[in-house]
Amino acid sequence: MATSTPAATPCLLVLISGNGSNLQALISATTSTPPTLPARIIHVISNKKAAFGLTRAANANIPTTYHNLVPYKKQHAGDIAAARRAYDAELARLILEQKPDMVVCAGWMHIFSDAALQPLVEAGVGIINLHPALPGQFDGAGAIERAYEAFQKGEIGGTGIMVHWVIGEVDRGEPIVVREVEMVEGEGLAELEERIHKVEHVEIVNGTRMALERLVREREAAGRT
Protein backbone atom coordinates (compact mmCIF):
# COMPACT_ATOMS: atom_id res chain seq x y z
CA MET A 1 0.00 0.00 0.00
CA ALA A 2 1.38 3.36 -1.02
CA THR A 3 0.44 4.97 2.31
CA SER A 4 2.54 2.59 4.44
CA THR A 5 5.64 2.63 2.21
CA PRO A 6 8.46 5.01 3.17
CA ALA A 7 9.09 7.60 0.47
CA ALA A 8 12.68 6.36 0.12
CA THR A 9 11.69 2.85 -0.99
CA PRO A 10 12.56 2.67 -4.69
CA CYS A 11 9.72 1.74 -7.04
CA LEU A 12 10.17 -0.88 -9.73
CA LEU A 13 8.12 -1.52 -12.83
CA VAL A 14 8.67 -5.00 -14.31
CA LEU A 15 8.19 -5.93 -17.98
CA ILE A 16 7.41 -9.56 -18.80
CA SER A 17 6.30 -11.71 -21.72
CA GLY A 18 5.90 -15.19 -20.27
CA ASN A 19 6.13 -17.49 -17.29
CA GLY A 20 7.38 -14.76 -14.97
CA SER A 21 9.61 -16.94 -12.78
CA ASN A 22 12.09 -14.05 -12.61
CA LEU A 23 9.27 -11.68 -11.67
CA GLN A 24 8.43 -14.17 -8.93
CA ALA A 25 12.02 -14.02 -7.68
CA LEU A 26 11.72 -10.22 -7.51
CA ILE A 27 8.34 -10.43 -5.75
CA SER A 28 9.77 -12.85 -3.16
CA ALA A 29 12.86 -10.70 -2.60
CA THR A 30 10.85 -7.50 -2.12
CA THR A 31 8.23 -9.06 0.16
CA SER A 32 10.39 -11.29 2.39
CA THR A 33 11.06 -10.24 6.01
CA PRO A 34 13.43 -8.50 5.95
CA PRO A 35 13.39 -7.89 2.19
CA THR A 36 16.53 -9.06 0.40
CA LEU A 37 15.72 -6.40 -2.21
CA PRO A 38 14.58 -3.18 -0.53
CA ALA A 39 12.22 -1.99 -3.25
CA ARG A 40 8.54 -2.12 -4.17
CA ILE A 41 7.13 -3.52 -7.42
CA ILE A 42 4.45 -1.01 -8.31
CA HIS A 43 3.34 -2.33 -11.70
CA VAL A 44 3.86 -5.12 -14.23
CA ILE A 45 3.40 -4.75 -17.99
CA SER A 46 3.13 -7.76 -20.31
CA ASN A 47 3.02 -7.78 -24.10
CA LYS A 48 1.43 -11.26 -24.01
CA LYS A 49 -2.10 -11.78 -22.70
CA ALA A 50 -1.49 -15.40 -21.66
CA ALA A 51 1.72 -14.64 -19.75
CA PHE A 52 1.58 -16.55 -16.47
CA GLY A 53 3.56 -13.72 -14.92
CA LEU A 54 0.33 -11.66 -14.99
CA THR A 55 -1.24 -14.21 -12.63
CA ARG A 56 1.83 -14.11 -10.38
CA ALA A 57 1.51 -10.30 -10.23
CA ALA A 58 -2.22 -10.46 -9.48
CA ASN A 59 -1.57 -13.00 -6.70
CA ALA A 60 0.85 -10.50 -5.17
CA ASN A 61 -1.69 -7.65 -5.56
CA ILE A 62 0.49 -5.87 -8.11
CA PRO A 63 -1.47 -3.96 -10.77
CA THR A 64 -0.85 -5.03 -14.37
CA THR A 65 -1.22 -3.69 -17.89
CA TYR A 66 -1.43 -5.71 -21.09
CA HIS A 67 0.18 -3.85 -24.00
CA ASN A 68 0.31 -5.71 -27.31
CA LEU A 69 1.72 -4.76 -30.72
CA VAL A 70 -1.09 -6.26 -32.86
CA PRO A 71 -3.56 -3.30 -32.69
CA TYR A 72 -0.71 -0.98 -33.72
CA LYS A 73 0.10 -3.21 -36.69
CA LYS A 74 -3.56 -3.01 -37.76
CA GLN A 75 -3.62 0.79 -37.37
CA HIS A 76 -0.43 1.20 -39.39
CA ALA A 77 -1.18 -1.51 -41.96
CA GLY A 78 1.88 -2.24 -44.05
CA ASP A 79 4.20 0.08 -42.12
CA ILE A 80 5.71 -2.05 -39.39
CA ALA A 81 8.28 0.61 -38.46
CA ALA A 82 5.52 3.16 -37.82
CA ALA A 83 3.54 0.56 -35.84
CA ARG A 84 6.53 -0.17 -33.63
CA ARG A 85 7.27 3.53 -33.09
CA ALA A 86 3.68 4.18 -31.99
CA TYR A 87 3.64 1.07 -29.80
CA ASP A 88 6.95 2.00 -28.18
CA ALA A 89 5.91 5.62 -27.57
CA GLU A 90 2.78 4.36 -25.82
CA LEU A 91 4.87 1.85 -23.86
CA ALA A 92 7.04 4.70 -22.57
CA ARG A 93 3.93 6.68 -21.66
CA LEU A 94 2.41 3.70 -19.80
CA ILE A 95 5.66 3.22 -17.89
CA LEU A 96 6.16 6.88 -17.00
CA GLU A 97 2.60 7.35 -15.74
CA GLN A 98 3.44 4.82 -13.00
CA LYS A 99 6.43 6.96 -11.92
CA PRO A 100 8.92 4.10 -11.36
CA ASP A 101 12.52 4.67 -10.33
CA MET A 102 13.62 1.75 -12.46
CA VAL A 103 12.30 -0.63 -15.13
CA VAL A 104 13.32 -4.29 -14.99
CA CYS A 105 12.95 -6.35 -18.17
CA ALA A 106 12.50 -9.87 -16.81
CA GLY A 107 11.85 -12.14 -19.78
CA TRP A 108 10.54 -9.20 -21.86
CA MET A 109 10.66 -10.34 -25.48
CA HIS A 110 10.26 -7.00 -27.25
CA ILE A 111 13.16 -4.87 -28.44
CA PHE A 112 13.29 -1.34 -27.05
CA SER A 113 13.54 1.23 -29.84
CA ASP A 114 14.54 4.84 -29.26
CA ALA A 115 10.83 5.77 -29.13
CA ALA A 116 10.57 3.75 -25.92
CA LEU A 117 14.05 4.37 -24.54
CA GLN A 118 14.49 8.12 -24.95
CA PRO A 119 11.52 9.25 -22.84
CA LEU A 120 12.73 7.00 -20.00
CA VAL A 121 16.30 8.23 -20.25
CA GLU A 122 15.07 11.84 -20.26
CA ALA A 123 12.97 11.13 -17.15
CA GLY A 124 16.01 9.64 -15.37
CA VAL A 125 14.40 6.19 -15.14
CA GLY A 126 16.97 3.37 -15.23
CA ILE A 127 16.27 0.31 -17.42
CA ILE A 128 17.90 -3.06 -16.92
CA ASN A 129 17.49 -6.41 -18.66
CA LEU A 130 18.14 -10.04 -17.84
CA HIS A 131 19.76 -12.03 -20.63
CA PRO A 132 20.61 -15.76 -20.50
CA ALA A 133 24.04 -15.53 -22.11
CA LEU A 134 27.44 -13.99 -21.44
CA PRO A 135 28.17 -10.44 -22.70
CA GLY A 136 28.65 -10.37 -26.46
CA GLN A 137 27.49 -13.96 -26.96
CA PHE A 138 24.13 -15.09 -28.34
CA ASP A 139 22.39 -11.71 -28.37
CA GLY A 140 18.63 -11.79 -28.88
CA ALA A 141 16.06 -14.59 -28.61
CA GLY A 142 16.85 -18.29 -28.24
CA ALA A 143 20.16 -17.64 -26.48
CA ILE A 144 20.11 -20.80 -24.35
CA GLU A 145 19.31 -23.05 -27.33
CA ARG A 146 22.06 -21.44 -29.41
CA ALA A 147 24.60 -21.80 -26.60
CA TYR A 148 23.57 -25.44 -26.18
CA GLU A 149 24.11 -26.13 -29.91
CA ALA A 150 27.46 -24.33 -29.88
CA PHE A 151 28.58 -26.49 -26.96
CA GLN A 152 27.53 -29.67 -28.79
CA LYS A 153 29.69 -28.53 -31.73
CA GLY A 154 32.63 -27.86 -29.42
CA GLU A 155 32.56 -24.13 -30.16
CA ILE A 156 32.19 -23.02 -26.52
CA GLY A 157 33.06 -24.55 -23.17
CA GLY A 158 30.41 -22.83 -21.09
CA THR A 159 27.75 -20.18 -21.04
CA GLY A 160 26.24 -17.80 -18.49
CA ILE A 161 23.78 -15.05 -17.73
CA MET A 162 23.93 -11.32 -17.24
CA VAL A 163 21.93 -8.40 -15.97
CA HIS A 164 22.81 -5.28 -17.95
CA TRP A 165 21.73 -1.69 -18.57
CA VAL A 166 19.50 -1.36 -21.62
CA ILE A 167 20.73 0.63 -24.62
CA GLY A 168 19.51 0.77 -28.23
CA GLU A 169 21.62 -2.22 -29.24
CA VAL A 170 20.02 -5.53 -28.21
CA ASP A 171 21.70 -7.18 -25.18
CA ARG A 172 24.79 -4.93 -25.54
CA GLY A 173 24.39 -2.50 -22.64
CA GLU A 174 26.97 -2.32 -19.85
CA PRO A 175 26.80 -5.47 -17.68
CA ILE A 176 25.85 -5.09 -14.01
CA VAL A 177 26.16 -8.75 -13.03
CA VAL A 178 27.74 -11.56 -15.04
CA ARG A 179 27.65 -15.18 -13.89
CA GLU A 180 29.23 -18.07 -15.77
CA VAL A 181 27.36 -21.37 -16.01
CA GLU A 182 29.36 -24.47 -16.80
CA MET A 183 28.14 -26.85 -19.49
CA VAL A 184 28.20 -30.58 -18.97
CA GLU A 185 28.73 -33.33 -21.58
CA GLY A 186 25.59 -35.42 -22.07
CA GLU A 187 23.26 -32.89 -20.40
CA GLY A 188 19.92 -32.26 -22.13
CA LEU A 189 18.73 -28.80 -23.14
CA ALA A 190 15.89 -28.86 -20.58
CA GLU A 191 18.32 -29.58 -17.75
CA LEU A 192 20.66 -26.82 -18.87
CA GLU A 193 17.70 -24.42 -19.06
CA GLU A 194 16.65 -25.34 -15.55
CA ARG A 195 20.16 -24.73 -14.17
CA ILE A 196 20.37 -21.38 -15.98
CA HIS A 197 16.99 -20.28 -14.65
CA LYS A 198 18.08 -21.07 -11.09
CA VAL A 199 21.10 -18.79 -11.53
CA GLU A 200 18.89 -16.11 -13.11
CA HIS A 201 16.52 -16.13 -10.12
CA VAL A 202 19.42 -15.24 -7.82
CA GLU A 203 21.14 -12.74 -10.08
CA ILE A 204 18.05 -10.80 -11.21
CA VAL A 205 17.68 -9.84 -7.55
CA ASN A 206 21.38 -9.03 -7.09
CA GLY A 207 21.53 -7.13 -10.39
CA THR A 208 18.43 -5.08 -9.55
CA ARG A 209 19.84 -4.23 -6.11
CA MET A 210 23.17 -3.14 -7.59
CA ALA A 211 21.48 -1.08 -10.30
CA LEU A 212 19.29 0.66 -7.73
CA GLU A 213 22.34 1.45 -5.60
CA ARG A 214 24.01 3.05 -8.62
CA LEU A 215 20.88 5.00 -9.49
CA VAL A 216 20.74 6.39 -5.94
CA ARG A 217 24.45 7.30 -6.05
CA GLU A 218 23.99 9.08 -9.38
CA ARG A 219 20.95 10.96 -8.16
CA GLU A 220 22.78 12.04 -5.01
CA ALA A 221 25.75 13.22 -7.08
CA ALA A 222 23.39 15.19 -9.29
CA GLY A 223 21.63 16.65 -6.24
CA ARG A 224 18.38 14.83 -7.16
CA THR A 225 17.39 12.75 -4.12
Q: Between residues 84 and 164, which has the closer beta carbon with respect to ligand GRF?
A: 164
Q: Which residues of the shown chain bind ligand GRF in the complex (CB under 6 A)? A: 16, 18-22, 53, 106-107, 130-132, 197, 200
Q: Please confirm, yes or no, whether 76 is among the known catalytic residues.
A: no
Residue 167 exposed, middle or buried by CB count within 10 Å (0-12, 13-18, 19+): middle
* Smallest distance, ligand GRF to C-beta of residue 159, A: 12
Nearest residue to the partner ligand GRF, using Cβ: 107
Question: How many whole angstroms separate alpha carbon 35 and alpha carbon 150?
Answer: 39
Alpha helices in 41-79 (DSSP H): 52-59, 70-75
Annotated catalytic residue within 131, 164, 197, 201: 131
Rounded to a whole number of angstroms, the CA Rg of the chain reads 18
Cα 24-28-33 angle, rounded to 5 deg: 175
Q: Between residues 195 and 197, which has the closer beta carbon with respect to ligand GRF?
A: 197
* Smallest distance, ligand GRF to C-beta of residue 24, A: 8
Q: How far is CA 30 from each of CA 11, 25, 85, rounded to the nearest angstrom?
A: 11, 9, 33
Q: Between residues 25 and 92, which has the closer beta carbon with respect to ligand GRF?
A: 25
* Smallest distance, ligand GRF to C-beta of residue 190, A: 13
| Residues involved in catalysis | 131
